Amino acid sequence: MKSLTLTRKIHYTLRIAIALCFIGHGSFGIITKAIWCNYFAVFGIGTKLAYQLMPWLGSFDILLGITMLVFPIRAIPAWLCVWGLVTALCRPLSGEPLAEFIERAGNFGVPFTLLVLSGGLTKSNLFSVINPDHPVDDKTMKRVFLCLKIIVFLLLAGHGWLNLIDKKGLLIQYTALGFSNPEKTALLVGLFEASAAISVLIRPLRSLIFIFFIWKMTTELFYPHYEFFEWIERGGSYGALLALWFAISPAHNPKHLTQNENRGTLNSGSARNAGGWTLHVVSNLNFQTLRFVRSILKSCILLFAFRDKRFAISDSH
């Protein structure tokens, strides 16, 4: 059995993420989620016809998601890029906040990144099967890294934005979880996710990316309705974070991908140097993680103190 190279790890992560995203999305079509009527209305489709079309579109999404797992031809992620973009755009076009679109960057960004990793899309290879062992040069890997970084930035920033504007669905979640002041909770989460998004865009640290990955997978479990399908539908978000975590692995530095994968062995002196460099990086990442968490907590405490003081002054008047 072949060992999993960096390319294969990213390939399978993105591929599974695409499948989860569209199987989850398709499930809501079969369930006939009522809010979808708003998105059909963007195209002038009435409620009655919308409910008739939902199961068909949902079944098609699920079929493409499953096919992506067993027979991944390039036409599927190409279509899902377009479909994911259109369905995400329906939200602000139907009157929802722009953040709803931004938060769903994984829906269309992950299929696009898989195509970039696999050598792009042309008329001649449209119906060819994507090869997980397709050779990837440094230039392509840098493009993949940039795509993942932008996607993660957008999905974290979008969800943080929804918290900062007190999205009703999120406040209901926090209330159900037992938080006495859901508005404050939303503010805290929003500040954390906005800061996380900025840190990813400026300097994505591997240890922080893993924290954000766990955070995203955990926080998406608390939807009050259809929790399982909601969690699956966010597969693009988890996949983008995990793929980015792989891409910045010290053992698989994107800058040295080609030479590391083509060399079978390293001499003992190089191995010692690499080990020392890795220890230095890990220590630095731990230090950066602590600084990041401390700065977020400090900012939140100061903001809450200012907010409470302002409310106290207004109450006194």
DSSP string, 164-182: HTT-HHHHHHHHHTT-S-H
Mean predicted confidence (pLDDT) in 49-60? 97
What's the pLDDT at 304?
45
Are residues 106 and 151 in contact, defined by beta-carbon separation less than 8 angstroms?
yes
- Any idea what DSSP says for residue 128? S
CB atoms within 10 A of CB 188: 21
Rounded Cα distance between 222 and 219, Å, is: 6
pTM of the full structure: 0.79
Tell me which residue of 248, 285, 236 sits closest to 9, measured CA to CA.
248
Residue that wins the pLDDT comparison between 275 and 73: 73
Digit-coded pLDDT (tens) for 89-108: 999 999 999 999 999 999 99
Rounded Cα distance between 184 and 264, Å, is: 54
What's the pLDDT at 280?
46
What's the pLDDT at 278?
40
- Give the chain's end-to-end CA distance (angstroms, integer): 74
User: Could you tell me the two tokens for 2?
Assistant: 């072949």
Averaged confidence pLDDT in the chain: 83
Digit-coded pLDDT (tens) for 243-298: 999 999 765 554 444 444 444 433 444 444 444 444 444 344 445 544 554 555 45
Which residue has 């040295």 as its token pair? 256
Are residues 304 and 184 in contact, defined by beta-carbon separation less than 8 angstroms?
yes
Q: Which three-class secondary structure state does DSSP give residue 279?
A: helix
Rounded Cα distance between 220 and 227, Å, is: 8
Mean predicted confidence (pLDDT) in 227-246? 93
Q: Which three-class secondary structure state does DSSP give residue 283?
A: helix
What's the pLDDT at 170?
93
Rounded Cα distance between 232 and 239, Å, is: 11
CA quadruple 84, 87, 90, 91: dihedral sign = negative
